[in-house]
């Protein structure tokens, strides 16, 4: 299952707890499902839900359809957010990707206020606070929306010599 790869990457990056926002996949993935406080209102509303649920600390967010995402991509985001006490946002080819980011939970009220004003775009969250850019490779955000796309991505990953087996924390080295 596609979401399993993201859950495994988060766990390998020591994200705890790992939760799903909305939907029904949480139990199949072995994670808690947090009900989306504004279902159908977009990704910013899901971020607001996650930040309010966490209350404190930091929240690592990613879409569930990124099969090439690894702990090696997540760790620099987490470290940068904690060090700066600001959001740390993946930047791919010079473009911020706020859907792959580590957010301080303390920004929850500000994100909720934006959602209540009708905002739904991830990028709007970048206006809430200064943030740290963390450059990541383009494959970080290559998504798979179908089983065919997933198979193609995984085949390409294997052809590039990248091991797609579960990540063992003790043997991780940067790509």
Residue 23: CATH number of its domain: 3.90.550.10
Find where tokens 């991505």 sit: 153
C-alpha to C-alpha distance for 39 and 98, rounded to whole angstroms: 19
Whether the CB-CB separation of 22 and 64 falls below 8 Å is answered with: no
Nearest CA-CA partner of 46 in 119, 140, 96, 95: 119
Q: What is the pLDDT along the chain (175 residues), one digit of tens a residue?
A: 668 888 999 999 999 999 999 888 888 889 988 988 888 778 899 999 999 999 999 999 998 888 888 999 999 999 999 999 999 999 999 999 999 999 999 999 999 999 999 998 888 999 999 999 999 998 777 777 667 776 776 666 654 434 333 333 222 222 2
Domain, as residue range, for 138: 2-171
C-alpha to C-alpha distance for 131 and 129, rounded to whole angstroms: 6
C-alpha to C-alpha distance for 134 and 53, rounded to whole angstroms: 25
Give the chain's domain count.
1
């Amino acid at each position: 299952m596609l979401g399993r790869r993201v859950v495994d990457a988060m766990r390998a990056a020591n994200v705890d707890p790992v939760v799903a926002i909305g939907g029904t996949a949480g139990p199949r993935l072995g994670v808690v499902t947090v009900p989306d406080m504004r279902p159908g209102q977009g990704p910013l509303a899901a971020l607001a839900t996650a930040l309010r649920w966490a209350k404190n600390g930091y929240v690592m967010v990613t879409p569930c359809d990124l099969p090439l995402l690894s702990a090696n991509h997540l760790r620099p985001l987490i470290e940068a957010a904690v060090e700066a006490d600001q959001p740390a946002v993946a930047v791919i080819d010079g473009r911020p990707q706020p859907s792959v980011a580590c957010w301080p939970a303390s920004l929850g009220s500000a994100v909720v206020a934006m959602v209540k004003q009708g905002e739904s775009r991830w990028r709007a969250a970048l206006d809430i606070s200064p943030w740290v850019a963390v450059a990541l490779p383009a494959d970080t955000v290559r998504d798979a929306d179908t089983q065919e796309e997933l198979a193609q991505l995984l085949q390409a990953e294997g052809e590039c010599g990248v091991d797609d087996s579960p990540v063992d924390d003790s043997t991780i080295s940067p790509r």
